[in-house]
Amino acid sequence: MGRANCDEFAMGSSNENSAFGPVQHPFLEGYVPGGSSGGSAAAAAAGFCHVALGSDTGGSIRQPAAFCGLYGLKPTYGRVSRYGLIAYASSFDQIGPIAPVLEDLIAVYQVIAGWDEKDPTTATEAVEPYQRKAPPKRWALLMPTGVSGAVADLIQARLQNLSAQGIAVEPVDFPYWDYLIPTYYILTTAEASSNLARYDGVRYGYRTPHAHTLAELYARSRSEGFGREVKRRILLGTFVLSAGYAEAYYTQAQKVRGLLYRFTEELWERYDLLVLPTSATPPFRLGEKTADPIQMYLSDLLTVYANLTGHPAPPNPYRPNPRRSTCRPPGDGASLRRKSPI
Ligand code: GLN
What local confidence, expressed as pLDDT, does residue 177 receive?
97
Consecutive 10-residue runs of the chain (342 residues): their mean pLDDT?
95 97 93 96 93 98 95 97 97 97 93 97 94 89 92 90 90 96 98 97 95 97 97 98 97 98 97 94 94 92 98 83 57 49 38
Rounded CA-CA distance 48/28 in Å is: 17
CB count within 10 Å of CB 195 equals 19
8 lines ligand 1 (CB under 6 A): no
300 lines ligand 1 (CB under 6 A): yes
Q: Which helix (H) or strand (E) holds 52?
A: strand 52-56
Phi, then psi, of 256 in degrees rounded to 5: -65, -35
Contact between residue 59 and residue 53 where contact means Cβ atoms under 8 Å apart: no
Contact between residue 75 and residue 94 where contact means Cβ atoms under 8 Å apart: yes
Q: How far is CA 211 from CA 20, 70, 87, in A?
A: 25, 46, 27
- 18 alpha carbon – ligand 1 mean position (Å): 13
Q: How many independent structural domains does the chain possess?
A: 1
Mutate to test the pocket of ligand 1, among 18, 57, 303, 308 (most ligand atoms within 8 A of CB): 57
| Atom of ligand 1 minimally distant from the CA of 55 | 9
Residue 328 lies in a domain: yes
What local confidence, expressed as pLDDT, does residue 153 receive?
92
Residue 223 lies in a domain: yes
60 lines ligand 1 (CB under 6 A): yes
What local confidence, expressed as pLDDT, does residue 44 receive?
94
- 7 alpha carbon – ligand 1 mean position (Å): 9
93 lines ligand 1 (CB under 6 A): no
| Atom of ligand 1 minimally distant from the CA of 13 | 1
Residue 3 lies in a domain: no
Rounded CA-CA distance 315/12 in Å is: 21
CA within 13 Å, CB half, 232 = 12
Phi/psi-derived region of residue 21, left when phi > 0, alpha when psi is between -120 and 50, beta in every other case: left
Rounded CA-CA distance 224/211 in Å is: 11
CATH of the domain at 106: 3.90.1300.10
Phi, then psi, of 120 in degrees rounded to 5: -65, -10
Burial (CB count within 10 angstroms: exposed 0-12, middle 13-18, buried 19+), residue 335:
exposed
Residue 152 lies in a domain: yes
What local confidence, expressed as pLDDT, does residue 340 receive?
42
What local confidence, expressed as pLDDT, does residue 338 receive?
45
Rounded CA-CA distance 72/102 in Å is: 9
* Atom 5 (ligand 1) nearest CA: 58
- 5 alpha carbon – ligand 1 mean position (Å): 14
In 3D space, the residue among 212, 253, 207, 213 whose CA is nearest the CA of residue 226 turns out to be: 207
201 lines ligand 1 (CB under 6 A): no
Residue 52 lies in a domain: yes
57 lines ligand 1 (CB under 6 A): yes
- The residues near 265 (Cβ < 8 Å, ≥ 6 apart) are none
What local confidence, expressed as pLDDT, does residue 104 receive?
93
- 179 alpha carbon – ligand 1 mean position (Å): 16
279 lines ligand 1 (CB under 6 A): no
Range of the domain at 18: 8-339
What local confidence, expressed as pLDDT, does residue 324 receive?
62
| Atom of ligand 1 minimally distant from the CA of 229 | 4
Residue 2 lies in a domain: no
What local confidence, expressed as pLDDT, does residue 320 receive?
62
What local confidence, expressed as pLDDT, does residue 134 receive?
87
CA within 13 Å, CB half, 83 = 13
229 lines ligand 1 (CB under 6 A): no
Residue 1 lies in a domain: no
Residue 189 lies in a domain: yes
Rounded CA-CA distance 317/339 in Å is: 31
Tell me the pTM: 0.93
Handedness of CA 313, 145, 327, 341 (dihedral sign): negative
58 lines ligand 1 (CB under 6 A): yes
